[in-house]
Amino acid sequence: MIKPHGSDRLKPLYVMDEKQRRELEKEALGLPSIIISSAAAANAVMLGSGYFTPLAGYMNLKDTLQVAENMHTGAGLFWPVPIVNILKDTSTIANVKRIALRDPNVEGNPVLAIQEIAAIEKATDEQIRLVAEKIFRTTDPAHPGVATFTSLGNYIVSGPIQVLNFSYFESEFPDTFRTAYHIREEMAKMGWEKVVAFQTRNPMHRAHEELCKMAKDATGADGILIHMLLGKLKEGDIPADVRDASIRKMVELYFPADTVLITGYGFDMLYAGPREAVLHAIFRQNSGCTHLIVGRDHAGVGNYYGPFDAQVIFDKEVPKGALEIEIFKADHTAWSKKLNKVVMMGQVENHGKDDFVMLSGTKVREMLSKGEPLPVEFARPEVAEILGQYYRSHVS
């Protein structure tokens, strides 16, 4: 199986020894504590899960700036997005060495992790804007990732962490949430060596289904990892439980048995386009995958990125040899009325726009909320029914 990024072994920061974890939980009760942001909590979950191997904790200001500027830490590790704990106020944790990090997303704000403070550094507003511009390619406050990042504060609290739980992800998504080490274990049991990963924050329609099958065939993969984001999204995106149900139904009915692992990870969506695509590649490599599907508008939002910028970055900005995982570059896929199948639109001849079955997201939501059936060429009926039930009860 493919090696983790920057390491010979996976380095999950979750404290697996139960006795040690209980002792740390007791220690946390006597430590100065602070409620961290949802972004920092998601980083902790990803660090605990081993997805962010080989990082040992939150980055300092120097690494934050260098990663933003050139995708490398000060020590030379290739990394595309700063992994940080940023606070607005650190007065309650000044002059201490260890702190308890409390979860903002769980009632009662239980302790999520313990952090050893290496430094507390104040970034200037200009530095925060610079990082946002490099990561998101914009400082437009209407961009959801920019809005979140620039609202976190200016104090960067760096240092290693020990993760004590996985926030709400284990309890709310017990059948879907998996750590990187769990995924590696499951793929090893199935005898998978070559695996293609599909990233999604949306339900999967016919085009996505066929894209996964195309990628598996083209790469000669043993299986497909459907890996869905389970954390915070922007307003209007479909909740994780609805996506989960629709994807499971699609795989149950339309994929060969034992060819797909349906899993999810505990992270908040960044909407960082190309940079986030590279981060996706790193933590899929850490999960044991050999290939990642990167298609049109991967991790994008609005019109901030070109349709294939998330593919271009791997050719132009990712140094050769920096990653072992390979990128399966996908064009926009849709049903061809002429060929009666899903195709990559850029790879078929003698087709105009009217030769494809394509619906905008707005049109899909409108049809579902009205109870209108989606074209079978666009969505499997069973998937459309699950989505329709959600829209009719929550959106209309």
Active centre residues (catalytic): 201-202
CA distance 52 to 66: 17
Q: How many whole angstroms separate alpha carbon 264 and alpha carbon 58?
A: 23
Contact between residue 103 and residue 110 where contact means Cβ atoms under 8 Å apart? yes
Q: Is 296 left (phi over 0), alpha (psi -120 to 50) or beta?
A: beta
CB 160 within 8 A of CB 60: no
Placement of tokens 């059936």 in the chain: 373
Q: List phi, psi (to 5°) of 126.
A: -65, -40
Residue type, 248: R
Buried b (16+ CB within 10 A) or exposed e, 132-167: bebbbbbeeeebbbbebbbebbbbbbbbbbbbbbbb
Query: How far apart are alpha carbons 121 and 116 in whole angstroms?
Result: 14
In angstroms, rounded to a whole number, what is the distance separating the alpha carbons of residues 160 and 250? 41
List helix spans (H) across the chain. 18-29, 38-49, 61-70, 125-136, 144-150, 169-172, 180-189, 206-219, 240-254, 274-286, 309-316, 361-369, 381-394
